């Protein structure tokens, strides 16, 4: 089954308006030759609108780094799906391990966010991943299965067309440690099987499953060469235009 590759730059809590516009402009220019893959940027919400003017017409998709389930209301500090759309975004990330670990978001909250974003028509990226401790104690697959089951509760088969999963092993994020192609492939295959069990084989076959965790220009090719790795969710290396442009130009 062929799946259109998706390369995402998650800028996390980096960039002022000026820095974000420069970075987005450089990425736009450096990726203008590519038509066979999707490119997505997730800048901080404070710069989404400005960045949307920079990438307008390029095909680059903009995403929020998180999203609230409600369209509006008394949710201090939160950003709604409608606000993301109003600022020029069409997508959102949920369940990032930094949200789970630092801000204690659990599977139930990730599920609410995911359902809210999907209901509003956003393209959603659901992050899952095990910690080093969980991996070492042999719990990797159990943790991932539970994260997936919990987050996908109530998500309809039709909505799955607007969903991608990102496998981000917590021990590989920002550490310089990367899962090997084989290690990541084993998990991606498992995740696809889980989606097939929760929904059906055809939905699993179309689902894009991205890898994230210290993706760099020098390891992206071997990761993306794996049959079940359909793209990358990039943190640190996405803040350097040349690195991100090289990653997007991966050679599988
Ligand atoms: P790094 O690429 O910096 O390891 O971050 C990965 C990540 O968390 C992307 O969402």
Tell me which DSSP letter residue 233 carries.
E
Domain count, the chain: 1
pLDDT digits (tens, 9 = 90+) for 6-41: 999 999 999 999 999 999 999 999 999 999 999 999
Q: What is the pTM of this model?
A: 0.97
Instruction: List residues near ligand 1 (CB under 6 A).
Output: 10, 96, 168, 173-174, 212-215, 233-237
Ligand 1 pocket test target in 166, 214, 243 with most atoms within 8 Å of CB = 214
The pair of structure tokens assigned to 180 is 């090997």
Burial 105-127 (b: 16+ CB within 10 A, else e): bebebbbbbbbbbbebebbbbbb
User: Which atom belonging to ligand 1 lies closest to the Cα atom of 215?
Assistant: 2
1 belongs to a structural domain: no
The CATH number that applies at residue 242 is 3.20.20.70
Q: Is residue 84 part of a domain?
A: yes
In a domain, 201, yes or no: yes
Q: Are 100 and 106 in contact (CB under 8 A)?
A: yes
Given 105, 130, 168, 188, the catalytic residue: 168
CA of 215 to the centre of ligand 1 (A): 7
pLDDT over 90 percentage in the chain: 96
For residue range 56-113, what is the model confidence (pLDDT) as tens digits?
A: 999 999 999 999 999 999 999 999 999 999 999 999 999 999 999 999 999 999 999 9
Pairing of strands 163-167, 123-128: parallel
Q: Among this protein's residues, is 72 annotated catalytic?
A: no
User: CB neighbours of 19 closer than 8 A, spacing ≥ 6?
Assistant: none
Task: Give the residue numbers spanning the domain of 101.
Answer: 6-248
């Amino acid at each position: 089954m062929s799946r259109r590759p998706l390369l995402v730059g998650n800028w996390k809590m980096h960039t002022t308006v000026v820095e974000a516009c420069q970075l987005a402009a450089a990425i736009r220019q450096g990726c203008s030759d590519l038509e066979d893959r999707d490119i997505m940027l997730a800048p901080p919400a404070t710069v989404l609108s400005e960045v949307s003017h920079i990438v307008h017409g390029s095909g680059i998709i903009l995403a929020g780094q998180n999203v609230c389930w409600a369209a509006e209301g008394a949710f201090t500090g939160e950003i709604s799906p409608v606000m993301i759309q109003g600022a020029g975004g069409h997508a959102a990330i949920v369940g990032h391990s930094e949200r789970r670990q630092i801000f204690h978001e659990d599977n139930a909250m990730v599920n609410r966010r995911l359902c809210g974003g999907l209901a509003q028509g956003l393209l959603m990226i659901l992050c899952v991943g095990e910690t080093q401790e969980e991996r070492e104690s042999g719990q990797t697959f159990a943790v991932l299965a539970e994260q997936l089951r919990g987050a996908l509760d109530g998500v309809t088969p039709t909505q799955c067309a607007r969903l991608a999963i990102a496998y981000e092993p917590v021990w590989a994020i920002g550490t310089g440690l990367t899962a090997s192609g084989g290690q990541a492939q084993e998990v991606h295959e498992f995740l696809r099987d889980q989606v097939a069990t929760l929904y059906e084989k055809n939905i699993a076959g179309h689902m894009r499953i991205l890898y994230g965790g210290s993706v760099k220009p020098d390891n992206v090719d071997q990761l993306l060469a794996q049959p079940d790795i359909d793209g990358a969710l990039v943190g640190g290396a996405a803040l350097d235009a040349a690195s991100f442009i090289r990653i997007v130009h991966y050679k599988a």
